[in-house]
Every structure is written in C-alpha cells, then in structure tokens.
Structure 1
C-alpha cells in the first residue's frame, strides 16, 4: 500500500500538464455544457482503455512492457507498430517538455543569481536534473513527483481563489455552437494521456490487480475533476464574444498568454499571471517525469537492458538523447509530431487493446479481466478510428474553428 498514493500522483501528474491551461480555448466555441459533456465522454473512453491495457499488462511477468506484450501477442508487425507510435509520442512529448523546462532554468538562475545562461545549456541542465531522477529509480520519481504535485496543487488552489469571487455562473449557460465540437475532440483526447506509464505502475505495485485498478481509477479520475473546476473558473469569467473575450483571444494568437492578459484586464490582478505561470512550470516537470518514466521502462524492456547501473545508463542514453537533440537542433520535428498527437496516441492505445483481445482469444489472460469483453474492445477500436479521422479532417482545415 505504501506505493499507492505516489502511483496515483504519477498517473495524474502525467496527464495534467501545462496544456491544461489551454483547455478553455478549445471549450469556448462549443460552450461550457457541451464541452464538459464531451470531456466526460472522452474521459470514460480513455479510462476504459486504461483498464484494458492493465488487463494486458497483468497477463505477463513483472517488468514486461508494451513492446514485449505486442511481440508475444501480435508478432513482429504489432511490435513495430508499438515501437513507432510509442517512441514518436513519448520522444515528441519529452522534447516539448525539455524546451519548456529550459526556460524554467533560465528564469530561476536569472532571478536567483543574476546569471545569464543559454537556452541550450539550460535544456541540458533540466534534463540532467530530472533525467537523473528517472535513471535512479521509480521510487525516486514517486517521491519527487509527490512533492511537485503538492506544489502544483497549491498553485492551482491559489489560482482558483483569485478567480472564485468573479465567476459568473449565468455566463456558463451561454450555449455556444455545436459546430465547434469536432475541432475540440483531439485536444480533449490528448488531455488524459497517462496510459504509457501503466506497465511501470503495475510493476511498481507488484502486479496487484485490485491495487492497480484502484490506482488507475483514482489517478485517472483526478484530471476530469480538476478540468471541470478549471473550465467553470475560466469560462465563467471570460465571455465568449466582445472585448477581452475568447473570440478576440482566438482571433489573435490564441495562446494561454493572451488568455492570461484577458484575465488581467478583466480582474486587474497581476498575481493571476504569476500564479498561472508557476502552475504551468511545475506541470511541465511532473508531466516530464511521468512521460520519461514510461519512455525509460519501454526502452529498457524493448532492448532488454539489465536493471544495473550500466544497463540503466544505456537505457537513459537511448531515452533522453533523441528528444534532447530534437529540442536543441530540430524543434519543428517534435512540433510536427505533437500536431498529430491524437493520431499517434490513438495508435499507441489500439495496439495493447488488440493484444488484450488476442490474449482473450488464446485463453492466456492473467489475474484481471475487464468487464465488457469483445464488445468493449471493438467499441474502443472504433473510438480510436473516429479520433484519427477527426484529427485528419482538422489537419485539412475541414472543421469549424471558433475565432477564425
């Protein structure tokens, strides 16, 4: 039981990144009610996905990750698909977090010691500090992530306390326009992405089915609760149209920074921007730890590196060098990958679901079987296919976008 709370926070911390601040920008078009309903539906689908992935993981020995599971159930084609989708997703995310984290190092050294530092050096320092924690052990990630998540919680509560007196609940009744719902779906879909870390969490908790299920249920539910509170707080203050509205924000750069400026104009409180930046910066670190932990263990399993100092060092080299190189020398590479993150994430989920299906067919399931069986598996695969189609339509400019 001693690992339960830490595991819950790793799952929640991986999902709740700095991108959470941008959710209202996607929700403004459809409106509050439609967006919350859509968020809840997407969350349920991804929570069900997590339990199916857990079923596949618990059918194998401790330490087995998705690469080996795909190879043993789907053969080489399944393993290749798992490799491509998982590495593309996690490398791109890590590169983005390294880029974001480097600005954190620059600001900290500048304010504390008045020490100028290049973006390249700060990115290396960010990776060295947090990457060392991942290299050391899952328990180290647990401890550090728990502290950071607590700080993130404090920043979030402070932000909400600044917003609460100004929330206009009647503003939430603004119905919005359902034409903008499709555009929001891929953004909402990628906001619940903790699934790559499930094998690590299962091994960390000794493959205990009841405990792992509880961890996923609680850790996977925290994001939807926090997102709901955030949506109420933001959509209840900034109007959809008019001056300092979501429409005017999206008509410009459509960034979180523009949204914070609108809050400042409406509430006349600079502390809001400072608190939001603090939350975002801490969220970058917790998401980096979760994603890097998933990436580290995936590569260790795929390359069969031993759990020794030498083996873990080799794994760290393979896990961290590519995203660092992308962040430093080819930033457009990971930006391109992230622009299609919904498709990559959908494929990353589909392969283990097919593995679980194969295990059912061959009668090789483990101690845990998720309710729903083949109907659930089929529904999830259709769900992922629909997400991919919507993302492609979005990329082709076929979907209505609020403020454009």
Structure 2
C-alpha cells in the first residue's frame, strides 16, 4: 500500500500537463455541454484502454515492457510498430517538456540571482536535474512527483478561488455549435495520455492486480474531474463571442497567453496570470517525470540493460540525449510529431490491445482479465481508427475550426 498514493499521482501528473490550460480553447466552439460530454466519452474509452493494457502487462514477468510484449505476442512487425510509435510519442513529448522547462530555469535564475543564462544551457540543467531523479529510481520519481503535484494542487486551487466569484453559470448554457466538435476530439484524446507509464506502475506495485486496478481507476479519473472544474471556471467567465472572447482569442494567436490576457482584462487581476504560469510550469515538470519514467523503462526493457549504475546510465543516455538534441538543434522535428500526437498515441494503444487479443486466443492470459473481452477489443480498435481519421481530416483542413 505504501506505493499506492505515489503511483496514483504519477499517473495523474503524467496526464495533467501544461496543455490542460488550453482545453477551453478547444471547447469554446462546441460549447460547455457538448465539450464535457465529449471529454467524458473520450475519457471512458481511454480508461478502458488502460485496463486492457494492464491485463497485458500482468500476463508477463515483472519489468516486462510493451516492446517485449509486442514481440512475444505479435512477432517482429508488432515490435517494430510498438517501437516506432512509443519512441516517436515519448521522445517528442520529452523534447517539448525540455523546451518548456528550460524557460522555467531561465526565469528562476534571472529572478533569484539576476543571472543571464542561454536557452541551451537551461535545457541541459532542466534535463540534468529531473533526469537524474528518473535515473535514480522509480521511488525517487514517486517522492518528487508527490511534492510537485501537491504544489500544483495549491496553484490550481488558488486559480479557482480567483475565478469562482466571477463564474457566470448561465454563460455555460450557451449551446455553441456542434460543427466544431470533430476538431476538438484529437486535442481531448491526447489530454489523458498516461498509458505508457502503466508497465512501470505495475512493476512498482509488484504486479498486484487489485492494487493496480485501483491505482489506474483513481489516477485515471483525477484528470476528468480537474478538467471539468477547469472548463466550468474558464467557459463561465470568458464569453464565446464579442470583446475579450474565445472567438477573439482564437482569431489571433489562439494561445494560452492570449487567454490569460483576456482574464486579466475581464477580472483586472494580475495574480491570475502569475498563478496560471506557476501551475503550467509545475505541470511541465510532473508530466516530464511521468513521460521520462515510461521512456526510461521502455528502453531499459527493449535493450535489456541491467538495473545497475552502469546499466541505468546507459539507459539514461539513450532515453535523454535524443530528445535533448531535438529540443536544441531541430525543434521542428518534435513539433511535427506533436502535431500528429493523436495518431501516434492511438497506434501506441492499439498494439497492446492486439496483444491482449492474441493472449486471449492462445489462452495465455495472466492474473487479470478485463471485462468485455473481444467486443471491448474490437470497439477500442475502431475507436483508435476513428481518432486517426479525424486527425488526418484536421491536418488537411477539412474540419470547421472556431475563430478561423
């Protein structure tokens, strides 16, 4: 039980990144009711996916990750698909978090010591500090993430306390336009991306089925609760149309920064921007820890590096040098990958579902079998295919986008 709370927070912290602040920008077009309904449906699908992934992980020895599982169940093609999708997703996310975290280092050093520092050096410092925690152990990530998640919670509660007196509930009844729903789907889909860390969490909790199910249920449910509160708070203050509206924000850069400026104009409170920035900065670190932990263990299993100082150091180099290089020297590379994150994430989820299907047909399931069986597996595969099609349509400019 001693690892349960920390595991819950690792899962929740991995999903709830700085991108959460941008959810209202995607929700403004469809409106509150439609967006919340869509978020709930997407969350249910991804929670079911998490339990299927858990079934697969628990069918193998402790420390086995998705790459080895894909090879043992689907052969070389499955392993290659898993490798490509997982590394594209996790490397791109890590590169993005390193870039975002470097600005945090720059701001902290300039404010505390009036010390100028280059973006390249700050990125290296960010990676060195947090990467060392991942290198040391999962327990170290547990402890640090728990502290950071608590600070993130304080910042979030403070932000909500600033918003609460100004929320106009009748504004939430603005029905919006369902034509904008499809565009929001890939954005919502990637907002619940904790799944790559499931093998690590299962091993950290000794492959205990009951405990792992509870961890995934609670940790995977925290994001939808927090997203609901955030959507109420933001969509209930900023109007859809008019001056300082979501339409005006999206008609410009459509950034979180523009949204915070709108809050400042409406509420006339500079503390909102400061608190939102603090939340976003902390969210970057918790998401980085979760994603890096998943990446570290995936590579350690795939390359069969031993759990020694030398072995973990070799794994760390393979895990952290590529995203650092991309963040420093080829930022457009990971931006391109992130722009199609929904497709990569869907493929990353589909491969373990196919592994679960194969385990069921060969009678090699482990200590846990998720309810629903083949009907659930088929539904999830169709679900992932639909996500990919919608993302492709979005990339081709075929979907209506609010404010454009």
* 1:155 Cα offset (Å): 0.1
> Structure 1 residue 382: deviation in Å?
0.1
Query: Structure 2 CA distance, aligned partners of 1:134 and 1:248?
Result: 42
Q: Which residue of 1 aligns with 2:283?
A: 283
Following superposition, the deviation at residue 201 of structure 1 comes to 0.1
Partner Cα separation in structure 1 for residue 108 and residue 135 of structure 2: 24
For residue 29 of structure 1, give the secondary structure of its aligned residue in structure 2: coil
Q: What is the deviation of 1:229? A: 0.0
C-alpha displacement of 1:207 = 0.0
Following superposition, the deviation at residue 332 of structure 1 comes to 0.4
CA distance in structure 2 between the partners assigned to 1:210 and 1:122 by the alignment: 42
* Structure 1: gaps of 5 or more residues: none
Deviation sequence 1:133-168 (CA, Å, 0-9, x none) = 000000000000000000000000000000000000
Offset, 1:333: 0.3
TM-superposed CA distance for 1:327, in Å, is 0.2
CA distance in structure 1 between the aligned counterparts of 2:109 and 2:239, rounded to whole angstroms: 38
Q: Distance in 2 between matches of 1:135 and 1:82?
A: 23
Displacement, 1:52?
0.1
CA apart distance, 1:106: 0.3
In structure 2, distance between residues paired with 1:2 and 1:30: 42
Q: Alignment partner of 2:183: what SS?
A: helix
State the 1:337 CA deviation.
Answer: 0.2
SS at match of 2:358: helix
Q: CA deviation at 1:80?
A: 0.1
TM-score (norm 2): 1.00
> Which deviations, in whole Å up to 9, do the C-alpha atoms of 1:204-224 show, x marking residues without a partner?
000000000000000000000
**Aligned-pair distance for 1:102?**
0.1
- Counterpart of 2:91 in structure 1 is 91
Specify the alignment match of 2:113 in structure 1: 113
Deviation at 1:99, TM superposition (A): 0.1
| C-alpha separation in 2, matches of 1:152 and 1:353 | 33
Q: Partner of 2:361 in structure 1?
A: 361
For 1:84-120, what per-residue CA distance to the aligned partner results, in whole angstroms no more than 9, with x for missing partners?
0000000000000000000000000001111000000
Residue-by-residue CA offset, 1:354-382 (whole Å, 9 max, x unaligned): 00110000000000000000000000000
Q: Which runs of 4 or more aligned residues in structure 1 lie more than 3 Å from their structure 2 counterparts after TM superposition?
A: none
Give, in angstroms, the shift of residue 321 of structure 1: 0.2
CA distance in 2, matches of 1:212, 1:357: 21
Query: What TM-score do the two structures reach when normalised by structure 1?
Result: 1.00
Separation in 1, partners of 2:70, 2:211: 24
CA distance in 2, matches of 1:164, 1:332: 39
Aligned-partner Cα distance in 2 for 1:145–1:393? 37
Q: Deviations over 1:114-137 (max 9, x none)?
A: 100000000000000000000000
Tell me how far apart the structure 2 counterparts of residues 19 and 56 of structure 1 sit (CA, whole Å).
29
- For 1:363 and 1:323, the matched residues in 2 are separated by 39
**Superposed CA offset, 1:216-235 (max 9, x none):** 00000000000000000000
Shift of 1:18: 0.1
Q: Matched residue of 2:63: which SS?
A: coil
In structure 2, C-alpha distance between the alignment counterparts of 1:337 and 1:24, rounded to whole Å: 23
For 1:139 and 1:112, how far apart are their aligned partners in 2? 30
Quote the offset at 1:194 in angstroms: 0.1
CA distance in 1, matches of 2:52, 2:111: 47
Could you tell me how far 1:179 is from its partner in structure 2?
A: 0.1
* 1:267-317 residue CA offsets vs partner (Å, 9 max, x unmatched): 000000000000000000000000000000000000000000000000000
Shift of 1:246: 0.1
Give the count of matched residue pairs: 404
SS where residue 319 of structure 2 aligns?
A: helix
